[in-house]
Structure 1
Amino acid sequence: MMRFAAIFRGLSALAVWVTIGGAIPVRADDNTGRLLTAAQQVAPRLAGALSDQTLWRSYKKRFVTEQGRIVDTGNGRVSHSEGQGYGLLLAVAANDREAFERIWGWTRANLMVRGDQLMAWRWEPDARPAVADMNNASDGDLLIAWALAEAAITWSDAGYRVASRRIAVELGRKLILMRTSFGPLLLPAVSGFAVEDRSDGPIVNLSYWVFPALDRLASVAPEIDWDAITGAGMKILAASRSSKSKLPAEWLSARDAELRPAQGLAATFSYNAIRIPLYLAWAGIGTESDYAPFIALWNARSAHGLPIVDAGDGRTVASFSESGYSAIADLTACAAKGTRLPAGFRNVRISENYYPVTLHMLAQVAVHTRFPSCLRG
């Protein structure tokens, strides 16, 4: 029996393009402040959400090569599928088709080398071969598929939709693990995280649940139950609140009904996990209790930046030193409580490294698409 299976639903030929179901309460920005259900949501279009063209030009100059490679300046100038996905999303948000084509072209030529529709996760400029590890990363695949689906809508290009669907269906076939106590789990990669790979497997990383991507991919691969995958992610988030810190560790063993930090991996809330509230807010899902642990953590900001903590006891072990990360905390307060965004939220420090700059810009896009009222006043 195959260990991976897609979650397929019987759909008629009249299946709608976008299906967003479930009963997860969310705070939708409909100017009333009331909580809506996910079934009342429609995934907002991305195009035009990044209106600061000066900022976008600066981003391209600093982080996007002429060939379309997104450069991770804080990590040996490597590139990875996650970064290519973020670049594609920002290009759609800026309504910049030329940049989108360059980034997608480089991604196809250099990362789509596995022999399937998924991407090799890492490309090193000074290594030969540049792709030494043929494993994928499911968050990168989701981001790229999502960006292609958005591009198909924005520029009325069926080719982008076909490419998005191929990635989404391949991901459904190879990376969704059925029959778990949480529901269908999204594995971080094809290799290395399943029951057969580790004694504490399966291993999950909640930051790989790109919730707004799951919303949109229902439009290109409706036979996969993306809502069930979202629901499993929300169950994992709830289960992770059993620790003293009430925060999820980056890598979790889902072998048993009680989650535990994965063996041999740092049990911290750090550079991966900071994206969890970004994706929750961008998708417009979650209750205030889902956001509360993040807000409590970030109420204790210091001059050193947001804290990196031990996910067990909540002890601070390091800090996010660059200011771009704080935009995630600002977005979280906006999404959960309607808190007005500080003036600094609008000002991206382009001199910082790729990751904090990118997260800051993605948080801005999420606000413009979901919570524009937080920008007022």
Structure 2
Amino acid sequence: MRRWRALLLAATVALAPGLPATAQQAMINAGAWSAYKAKFLDPTGRIVDNGNGNISHSEGQGYGLLLAYLAASPADFEQIWYFTRTELLLRDDGLAVWKWDPNVKPHVTDTNNATDGDMLIAYALALAGTAWKREDYILAASRMAQALLAETVGSSQGRTLLMPGTEGFTGSDRDDGPVVNPSYWIYEAIPVMSALAPSDAWQKLSDDGVELLKTMQFGPRKLPAEWVSLHDKPRPAEGFDAEFGYNAIRIPLYLARGGITDNALLIRLQKGMSQDGVPATIDLTTGRPKAVLSDPGYRIVNDVVACVVDGTRLPNSALQFAPALYYPSTLQLLGLAYIGEKHPECL
């Protein structure tokens, strides 16, 4: 029975929009993946966030799994998955704890989840399980997708929302709740979640995420905040800096990778988040940049938008991969993989 369920799920996932219809090809070249592994993957299978105290988190494990899949590296995928399932999948609901800290014992002190990390993990498992005929990966992905649907996909004022975690963000938890993070919507993964845990809520989640982005035009630069209260009219959430922050930088990349090529939205985000053409974190109240982000991994987000909108070729700097920090290095590989697969004319 278990095997038949896995086979049925694999067939359903394979038909999800956006998945390749042919056998997998590596979308990340071997040299770039080797450099990424050497910098961020330790022998236990954890992805090290070297810009954040060398912690690991569910987001990083999810990114690592997705990149290993895109690099067509089953052995590395299994190594990352081993750490993920043994060290992070500790919750009773099937979701991962969000943070693992090598500097403290026990290594897990906060058992809340981070929904984007869970979705990345489930998405990568589904892709790898389908491509490599691993029934165990597909069943694990299905369990996580079902938990995401049950625990983190909610509704408020007619909108379907993705709660950032199971605790701390609802109207019951906060006076200004619900609070969402628009950078947690991983649009490319949502059709796969729908295949794994069928529900009409997934499509509405995707549609409402895009519509919310269109309404989140805060401050002189008309950008979304990293944390947004949806208690009534969308506004920056209380207790957080009113900023377009590091996480928000990836929103245009997520839109493009998810096949959402609304040029007006992409151009507004690109223009608002840039200082002299370079991505920056932005103080939403004043419109002033807080930190200009010159790493090629941040800059590739604007390069992807330029390619999608008007066919601009990527600059040579975007094609050179020399990883320094975990987060921008991850964005760079995701950007390069997307351009290589969907827009090779921009290379």
- The verdict on a shared fold, with TM-score over 0.5 as the criterion, is yes
1:178 aligned counterpart, secondary structure:
strand
Of 324, 327, 333, the residue aligned with 1:361 is 333
Q: 1:92: how far off? A: 0.4
Per the alignment, residue 7 of structure 1 pairs with none
Of 69, 79, 103, the residue aligned with 1:92 is 69
Residues paired across the two proteins, number: 337
The within-5 A match list for 1:128-277 is: 128-181=105-158, 183-223=159-199, 225-241=201-217, 243-256=219-232, 258-277=233-252
* Alpha-carbon distance between aligned partners in 2 of 1:131 and 1:321, rounded to the nearest angstrom: 33
2:81 partner letter? W
- For the 8 Å contact 2:218–2:225, the answer to whether it is kept is no
CA gap 1:224/1:148 in 2 versus in 1, 3 angstroms: farther
1:229 partner letter? L
Per the alignment, residue 25 of structure 1 pairs with none
Q: 1:131: how far off? A: 0.4
Q: 1:135: how far off? A: 0.2
- For the 8 Å contact 2:28–2:333, the answer to whether it is kept is no
TM-score if structure 2 supplies the norm length?
Answer: 0.92
1:211 aligned counterpart, secondary structure:
coil
1:287 partner letter? D
Q: 1:195: how far off? A: 0.4
Matched residues, percent identical?
40
Q: 1:42: how far off? A: 3.5
* Alpha-carbon distance between aligned partners in 1 of 2:238 and 2:205, rounded to the nearest angstrom: 24
1:152-211 alpha-carbon deviations (Å, 9 max, x no partner): 111011211110010001010011112424x21000000000001100000000000011
- For the 8 Å contact 2:267–2:305, the answer to whether it is kept is no
1:35-70 alpha-carbon deviations (Å, 9 max, x no partner): xxxxxx633479434341011112111110111000
Per the alignment, residue 291 of structure 2 pairs with 318
- For the 8 Å contact 1:152–1:161, the answer to whether it is kept is yes
**RCO higher in 1 or 2 (8 Å CA, sep ≥ 6)?**
1
* Alpha-carbon distance between aligned partners in 1 of 2:39 and 2:18, rounded to the nearest angstrom: 34
Per the alignment, residue 87 of structure 2 pairs with 110
* Alpha-carbon distance between aligned partners in 1 of 2:242 and 2:178, rounded to the nearest angstrom: 16
* Alpha-carbon distance between aligned partners in 2 of 1:299 and 1:204, rounded to the nearest angstrom: 23
Q: 1:75: how far off? A: 0.7
1:360 partner letter? Q
2:39 partner letter? R
The alignment yields a C-alpha RMSD, in angstroms, of: 2.0
CA gap 1:95/1:17 in 2 versus in 1, 3 angstroms: closer
1:125 aligned counterpart, secondary structure:
coil
Q: 1:369: how far off? A: 2.6
1:239-264 alpha-carbon deviations (Å, 9 max, x no partner): 112643111010000111x2100001
Unpaired runs of 5+ residues, structure 1, are: 1-12, 21-40
Per the alignment, residue 3 of structure 2 pairs with none
1:329 aligns with 2:306: no
Q: 1:219: how far off? A: 2.5
